[in-house]
Structure 1
Amino acid sequence: MPLAPLPPSALRLSCDADALPFASTAELAPLDEPLGQDRAVEAIRFAIGMQNHGYNLFALGPKGTGKMSLISQFLADAARDRPTPGDWVYVHNFDDSARPRALCLPPGRADSFRKRMDRLVEDLAVALPAAFEGEDFRTRVKAVETAHGRHQEEVIKIMREKAEEHSFLLVRTDGGLTFAPAKDGEALTPEVYNALPETTREEMTAHMKALQKDLEDSLKDVPKWEKERREAMKAVLRDVARGAAEHLIEEIRWEYSQIPAVVSHLNRILDHVVDNVGEFLGSEAEDEEGSPADKQKAKAHAVAQARKRLKVNPLTTNGTNQGAPVVVEDNPTQPNLIGRVEHLVRFGALTTDFTLVKAGALHRANGGFLVLEARRLLLSPFAYEDLKRVLRAGQVKIEAPGQTHGVMTTVTLEPEPVPLDVKVILLGDAETYYLLSEGDPEFRELFKVAADFDTHMQRNDNAVLSLARLLAGLVTREALRPLDRTGIARLVERAARLAEDSGKLTAHMGSLTDLVREADYFAAQDGSERIEGSHVTAAVVAEERRDGRVRDMMLEEIVEGTIRVETEGEVVGQINGLAVYHFGRIGFGRPSRITCAARVGRGEVVDIEREVDLSGPLHSKGVLILSSFLATRFAVDGPLSLSASLVFEQSYGEIDGDSASSTELYALLSALGEVPIRQNLAVTGSVDQFGNVQPIGGVNEKVEGFFDVCQAKGLTGDQGVLIPRTNVRHLMLRQDVVDACAAGRFHVYAVHTVDQGIRLLTGLEPGERGRDGHFPKGSLNDRVAKRLDAFARRANREYGERTGRRTKV
């Protein structure tokens, strides 16, 4: 019985606009729930709810499936129910300036604390100089000088009286105190002294040495007295500084009395100000060498540095947050993730301090959620490894890129780590997820939950209504025109086409939302108040035209004969195969001429594409299956004695996939049986060893590709395409193709087996092997078997002529 073409109803499952329970999306309540992602929703809720270590989330699926919008919705809801985390600030570490301290403050207190400490610096800049310029300070300094100068004055007085008793005077010189001979209270001149008798001079020298020794013995405690004076002076300085600073700091200490870490830091500031008041006054810089201008600059810099140590560097501020933070880091470099220490150039050298410590995304997301794109994370040097380090440690330690791995050795600050409590969500495709799962043992320990976003959903009334409600929300948010029922119907059909399954709809919402926006443009051009089905169709056609230059160019070359594709007549060993080409966003079918030549040989089916390294592994596998099919059907009692070659004519690139294996088998059977094949039919489908035709991908594009060629050359009414029966459910052909089939100008046939296909292609019955081991006379299989027998006899004859031996055939 001849195989009948598929009816038009099987070629496209249309959506009946009149059956939709609404006139337009303006009547529908927008859908605020995810569509077609039940499995992913369960995973997201589980990951958010799990507080144990390592239950971070990897959301996998192609772009456009709504990963980001869905996760953002769930994170926003979860964040509102969580407490707002505290603020973190960095302050100077007075014990080790290279390791700034991290302080945690209540939410929203970081900025106020910074401003309060800035005001403290300003107040100290006024209070300290005023305190040291006051009368009280001068009086206390004078008292110290007086008290500690009394010992030395008493010694000098005694020594002066003793010297006078021996006719000497105690005088001050540049070298210190010394004794000089005197008479009548006046020091002797050198002339007078030299005129004295020698004996008198010797006696005077001896007395003078004795006096000098007594003076030195009396003044041996001067260093001790000087030290006591300095200590007393320091005590005065400390007391004055404490008096000037303590009441200022006490006000802040009272404000932050409930935060022990801040109170401790303020106490440390007070001690530092008291102990190093000279830095705040700039007096220590006055002893440096250089010009007055240089000394002034050094003094100003010293004072600025001293004041900077009292300031506060807010790392994170959560005062404006209502709940936990949700941070999306678009550029997840290592510094952007874990923070960085910036540097300034001063006198040709890089300098830094705690005020140049900058927060990373992990700091900002601390206590909440951090969303990252996996591919960008992996492409950023050191970012992925340092993210894992931070998650393992449970704290954010700021390090230079590569420092963990010993790549960077520059000496810089080591800020105190900040405790971390964050849920990380990675967005990526399935390939990235599985590569990380297989290649990185730590990945599964840190990202224990996978949200696998589906690309399809079942097509039913509920799904169609939900899709309409989802699009209703889109047009409302973006102020687009509402879709009427015909527009929704066309979108449903387009969703089924994108899903490549008439019984399903695509879950790639990005494609559908873009289509709605483009259809709105055409509705505006048409002056329509609603988006109708014709506008959706116009948007689809416009997109295909924009991206269809290569497709149209190839079609033109086929029509002109540059690329040879026959659509009429019959030829032995030649058949029209179908392939799908992808250029950018568009995919289209293009027929290719596949030819086969058969001759006597040693049972080889040669794939010419493979011989020249233009065949992928799947295509090579399909050709090997052909050899197995021939051996199973025609070489039950002996070896095959043939050599056949298969090739895609005018193909100049790599060919892969097994969707042409049934096509190649038809060409091979035609060449062996010397039976011509109809050129008005094109074929697609893979085949197994037993001749069963199996499904392939891109069936819609392949059918439409041959239709376009036939239409361009002229439809004859007997042209068509053979597809696997199992691909019928995937048909969502263009309306013009369906209309041509309905009018009998084109046909689509669905086959289960190679025998069904060869019968349609050649008009011959394939025939089944009888009990006697032979096929029915005149059948296609009989012709192939006889040809193979002839090959075997010829091979045996040639073998006998060479060796003198023959094998009975």
Structure 2
Amino acid sequence: MPVNRLEADQVFQACNLEQLQFETTADLEPIKELSDALGQPRAVESLRFGTGMEHQGYNIFVLGQSGTGRHTMAAQVLERQLKKLSPPDDWCYVNNFDDQSRPKKLHLPAGKGIRFTKDLEKMIKDARSVLKASFEGEEYQHRAQAIGEEVKERQHKAFKEISDRATEKGLTLLRTPGGLAFAPLDKDGDVMSPDEFQQLPEEKRQNYEKDMEGLQAESQKILEKIPQWQKEIREKMEALNKEITEKSLTQLIDGVKAEYAEIAGIPAHLDAMKKDIMDNLPAFLTGDHQQQQGPMGAKPQQSSMPTGEETDMDSPAMRRYKVNLVVDNSKLEGAPIVFEDNPTYANLVGKVEHMSMMGALVTDFNLIKAGALHRANGGALIIDARKVLTHPGAWDGLKRALQSNFIKIESLAEMYSLLSTVMLEPEPIPLKVKVIIIGEPMLYYLVQQFDPEFSQLFKVAADFDVQMERNGENQELYVRLLGNIVAKQKLLHFDKSAVGRLIEQSSRMMGDSERLNIRIRDINDLMLEADYWARQNKHETVRADDVQKAIDSKVFRSDRLRRRIQEEIHRGTLRIDIEGSRVGQVNGLAVMMLGDFAFGKPSRISAQVYMGKGEVIDIEREAKLGGPIHSKGVLILSGFLGARYGTEMPLSLSASLVFEQSYGGVEGDSASSTELYALLSAIAEVPIKQQFAVTGSVDQYGRVQAIGGVNEKIEGFFDVCRHKGLTGSQGVLIPATNVKHLMLRQDVVEAIARQEFHVYPIETIDQGIELLTGLPAGEPDEQHRYPEDSVNGKALRRLRIFADNMSKFGKGEESPGERGDRDS
């Protein structure tokens, strides 16, 4: 069946500007519901379901290619769902006065955390001022003096009594470096000298000694009572101090306690704080660092009284009474939406920082820092899949928090039991959060396969597409989307022709005339560059030629290698024939990708056949340059040849296929039809016209199947023909199923319109071989015989010759060549 070449309107689906009911994008109504207007109903519904589902495990994995607006749409859907909720609680850490290594958590209604922090700091400062004033006041001084006078009075009374008794006995009380002593007095009332004492009568001297021993014993008893009296004085002073402290603190603390009486944990914390202040009153009053140990037991460097209000609460003696507000939701409207750009383990679950003191690293509860899970608690957390999976410990930490519903702050070394040093163990905080992970589809399926816990924690997949159907309704929404981009980026307005060119290029990006590209980043970048060229050309609006200039400029910046390959083809270094006919040689087409730039590269594919055992040797595979899909395509050729020619006789041939002048890897099956044409030409010894290039895969029944990159492949061969000279007979054979994908460059479309270049849609191998050789393919009769002058007939006749010769060799018969050699 003859193949009709495609017309110009079949290789490029132009935008009908009459359907655009505006002059510039200034006339367009903006899109307010962006997430509903981008051809992503499946993804949007998944996001809505996942955010609305409150049961555990219904977290969301957003999968799709970058640039499709995944972050924006996820944030918009979340904001719409979560702004209806009330802001979650604030979270604080406070000192555990029973065990400083285990700080306690407190949670307060949103906005009250900062108030409580300030109220408590003010209360502590007021308490210091009030207590200092109380202890410096006259009442306290009088009572303290009275207590001090009491011990002096008791001591004075006791010593006076013993001194009076001594006087009655003619003795006096002496205070010596060795303690108290008694000595007799002479008749003048002076202390008797030792000589005088020795001259006394024996009896009187013994009476003195006896009295002195008795009084000495009594004085010793008095001395022994002095520590007890001093202890009693201290106890009375402590009682007085506690009385004054209790009286001063109670009023202040009760005021704060009344304000937060219904918040769990705060009254008990205030009571514990009051007790600790009373137990450590000197340090509290003076701020003396030596009176109070530093964070986690470290001894501070200074011992001076704080000099200002700013340093009061920062001294080690006072830090224990502060409040560490780790999560402050006072400014939130609705539930929080947190995007963590750097999801390390510490940035997710929080950390405990350290500070240097006396050459050592120390810490306390004030150095606890919240992570993204703390900030997102009660709302949603958005993170990038690749980042969270590659940061050490981050993925395990996130899973553990979601499984336990608690955020436990610990270091990586603790988590992996690599550290035995005493560290802070903050009380875990209850977790209620919706986690949205955004990543490529490959990551989603890999993690789903290799992590058994993944499916339990991320039960919702929001799958983002990169394309939507190009119809009237979608095109209208797409145009409004372009208007949104103009407004958001503050670009010059685009006129109707520019918008039409953007729509055409959008289909070109997708490689499909019936689809539109919804990778917003690609369109956004193109519009930014078109705006640049419009401003360079001093246009008031962006026009179609500005858009085309942006397209051409981007290609020019990326196509150095393409131009180099084209140059080498034109110079004859790379051999591509576009005239004449060759047996077993066809122009194939491949696509090369350099980042986001793709271009077609013509290649010469050749085949050789000879007697053998029915093997088709893929030289690329044998040289380890061919990929598995390409090897599969070659094996399909063997199936086709066997089914067509080997039903009544064995295929007694071997064949070799190769991409000539190819020095890199070959992958894909898009050249399998090309290779089959080369094989048929070599077997039938029928030359193929070199003005054609071919692309398309083939199945075992000879049906030509669709391939990718069809536009780039056609343009790659067109560039070769244009530089060598268009003759009007050159063209490309493509699968008929690829016609809907055609969005060719304008210069190619114009050449097709002038019939200088042609594109032929092929459905079967027989259609293609007829066009390539100019001979009929041939239809088999009832005896499975083909016409002699057909390609199939010539191929079958050659294969029979191979089979006969193989049969003769098998029987040991000599070939004519061997007999001639022997006779000579």
Same fold by TM (over 0.5)? yes
Report if the CA contact (8 A) 1:400-1:408 is conserved. Answer: no
Name the CA shift for 1:652/1:402 in 2 (closer, same or farther; >3 Å).
farther
Which deviations, in whole Å up to 9, do the C-alpha atoms of 1:176-220 show, x marking residues without a partner? Answer: 434445545544445555677899877766655554444445655
Corresponding position of 1:113: 116
Which amino acid in structure 1 is aligned with residue 796 of structure 2? A
Q: CA deviation at 1:643?
A: 2.0
Report if the CA contact (8 A) 1:331-1:376 is conserved. Answer: yes
- Answer with 383-392 or 294-303: which moved more: 294-303
Alpha-carbon distance in structure 1 between the residues aligned to 2:649 and 2:94: 90
Corresponding position of 1:252: 256
Report if the CA contact (8 A) 1:547-1:585 is conserved. Answer: no
Where does 1:275-354 land on structure 2 (aligned, <5 Å)?
Answer: 275-282=279-286, 297-300=302-305, 304-354=315-365
Which deviations, in whole Å up to 9, do the C-alpha atoms of 1:530-588 show, x marking residues without a partner? Answer: 22222222211111111111111111111111111111111111111111101122101
Q: Percent identity?
A: 46
Corresponding position of 2:696: 685
Corresponding position of 2:295: none
Alpha-carbon distance in structure 2 between the residues aligned to 1:503 and 1:702: 19
What SS does the aligned partner of 2:242 have? helix
Alignment counterpart, residue 104 of structure 1, candidates 78, 82, 107: 107
**Would you say 1:43 and 2:80 are equivalent positions?**
no
Which amino acid in structure 1 is aligned with residue 736 of structure 2? R
Corresponding position of 1:365: 376
Report if the CA contact (8 A) 2:282-2:291 is conserved. Answer: no
Corresponding position of 1:20: 20
Alpha-carbon distance in structure 1 between the residues aligned to 2:204 and 2:794: 157
Corresponding position of 2:78: 75
Alpha-carbon distance in structure 1 between the residues aligned to 2:648 and 2:633: 24
Alpha-carbon distance in structure 2 between the residues aligned to 1:525 and 1:241: 78
Report if the CA contact (8 A) 1:282-1:300 is conserved. Answer: yes
- Answer with 703-712 or 111-120: which moved more: 111-120
Corresponding position of 1:591: 602
Alpha-carbon distance in structure 2 between the residues aligned to 1:126 and 1:151: 35
Alpha-carbon distance in structure 2 between the residues aligned to 1:736 and 1:286: 87
Report if the CA contact (8 A) 1:155-1:219 is conserved. Answer: no
Name the CA shift for 1:194/1:577 in 2 (closer, same or farther; >3 Å).
farther
Report if the CA contact (8 A) 2:301-2:357 is conserved. Answer: no
**Would you say 1:127 and 2:130 are equivalent positions?**
yes
Report if the CA contact (8 A) 1:495-1:505 is conserved. Answer: yes
Q: CA deviation at 1:157?
A: 4.0
What SS does the aligned partner of 1:298 have? coil
Gaps of 5+ in 1: 289-293, 805-809
Alpha-carbon distance in structure 1 between the residues aligned to 2:141 and 2:508: 94
What SS does the aligned partner of 1:58 have? strand
Name the CA shift for 1:181/1:551 in 2 (closer, same or farther; >3 Å).
farther
Corresponding position of 1:242: 246
Alpha-carbon distance in structure 2 between the residues aligned to 1:793 and 1:403: 80
Alpha-carbon distance in structure 2 between the residues aligned to 1:738 and 1:150: 120
Which amino acid in structure 2 is aligned with residue 134 of structure 1? G
Name the CA shift for 1:296/1:607 in 2 (closer, same or farther; >3 Å).
closer
What SS does the aligned partner of 1:441 have? coil
Name the CA shift for 1:159/1:749 in 2 (closer, same or farther; >3 Å).
same
Q: CA deviation at 1:377?
A: 1.2
Q: CA deviation at 1:659?
A: 0.8
Corresponding position of 1:230: 234
Report if the CA contact (8 A) 2:287-2:317 is conserved. Answer: no
Report if the CA contact (8 A) 2:284-2:317 is conserved. Answer: yes
Report if the CA contact (8 A) 2:703-2:763 is conserved. Answer: yes
Report if the CA contact (8 A) 2:529-2:550 is conserved. Answer: yes
Where does 1:131-530 land on structure 2 (aligned, <5 Å)?
Answer: 131-164=134-167, 168-180=171-183, 183=186, 186-190=190-194, 208-217=212-221, 221-282=225-286, 297-300=302-305, 304-530=315-541
Name the CA shift for 1:169/1:740 in 2 (closer, same or farther; >3 Å).
same
Which amino acid in structure 2 is aligned with residue 66 of structure 1? G
Which amino acid in structure 2 is aligned with residue 21 of structure 1? Q
Which amino acid in structure 2 is aligned with residue 646 of structure 1? L
Alpha-carbon distance in structure 1 between the residues aligned to 2:638 and 2:198: 137
- Answer with 163-172 or 775-784: which moved more: 163-172
How much is the aligned-residue C-alpha RMSD, in angstroms? 2.7
Alpha-carbon distance in structure 2 between the residues aligned to 1:297 and 1:422: 44
What SS does the aligned partner of 1:372 have? strand
What SS does the aligned partner of 1:790 have? helix
What SS does the aligned partner of 2:756 have? coil
What SS does the aligned partner of 2:760 have? strand
What SS does the aligned partner of 1:403 have? helix
Q: CA deviation at 1:698?
A: 0.7
Alignment counterpart, residue 782 of structure 2, candidates 766, 771, 775: 771
Output the TM-score relative to the length of structure 2: 0.91
Name the CA shift for 1:676/1:178 in 2 (closer, same or farther; >3 Å).
farther
Alignment counterpart, residue 673 of structure 2, candidates 662, 668, 671: 662
Corresponding position of 1:807: none
Q: CA deviation at 1:349?
A: 0.4
- Answer with 716-725 or 239-248: which moved more: 239-248
Report if the CA contact (8 A) 1:114-1:312 is conserved. Answer: yes
Alpha-carbon distance in structure 1 between the residues aligned to 2:203 and 2:675: 141
Q: CA deviation at 1:745?
A: 0.7
Alpha-carbon distance in structure 1 between the residues aligned to 2:503 and 2:301: 79
Corresponding position of 2:818: none
Report if the CA contact (8 A) 1:565-1:592 is conserved. Answer: yes
Give the count of matched residue pairs.
799
Q: CA deviation at 1:76?
A: 2.1
Q: CA deviation at 1:224?
A: 3.9
Corresponding position of 2:564: 553
Alignment counterpart, residue 705 of structure 1, candidates 692, 706, 716: 716
Report if the CA contact (8 A) 2:300-2:357 is conserved. Answer: no
- Answer with 250-259 or 15-24: which moved more: 250-259
**Would you say 1:630 and 2:641 are equivalent positions?**
yes
Report if the CA contact (8 A) 1:85-1:324 is conserved. Answer: yes
Output the TM-score relative to the length of structure 1: 0.93
Alignment counterpart, residue 753 of structure 2, candidates 720, 723, 742: 742
Alpha-carbon distance in structure 2 between the residues aligned to 1:543 and 1:267: 70
Alpha-carbon distance in structure 1 between the residues aligned to 2:434 and 2:186: 98
Which amino acid in structure 1 is aligned with residue 703 of structure 2? N
What SS does the aligned partner of 1:371 have? strand
Name the CA shift for 1:18/1:204 in 2 (closer, same or farther; >3 Å).
same
Alpha-carbon distance in structure 2 between the residues aligned to 1:194 and 1:794: 158
Gaps of 5+ in 2: 293-298, 816-824
What SS does the aligned partner of 2:516 have? strand
Q: CA deviation at 1:252?
A: 2.8
Q: CA deviation at 1:684?
A: 0.8
Name the CA shift for 1:693/1:544 in 2 (closer, same or farther; >3 Å).
same
Alpha-carbon distance in structure 2 between the residues aligned to 1:710 and 1:743: 15
Where does 1:47-58 land on structure 2 (aligned, <5 Å)?
Answer: 47-58=50-61
Which deviations, in whole Å up to 9, do the C-alpha atoms of 1:394-428 show, x marking residues without a partner? Answer: 22221113422223444322222222222111111
Report if the CA contact (8 A) 1:329-1:371 is conserved. Answer: yes
- Answer with 103-112 or 572-581: which moved more: 103-112
Name the CA shift for 1:463/1:389 in 2 (closer, same or farther; >3 Å).
same
Q: CA deviation at 1:322?
A: 1.5
Q: CA deviation at 1:165?
A: 5.2
- Answer with 132-141 or 575-584: which moved more: 132-141
What SS does the aligned partner of 1:95 have? coil
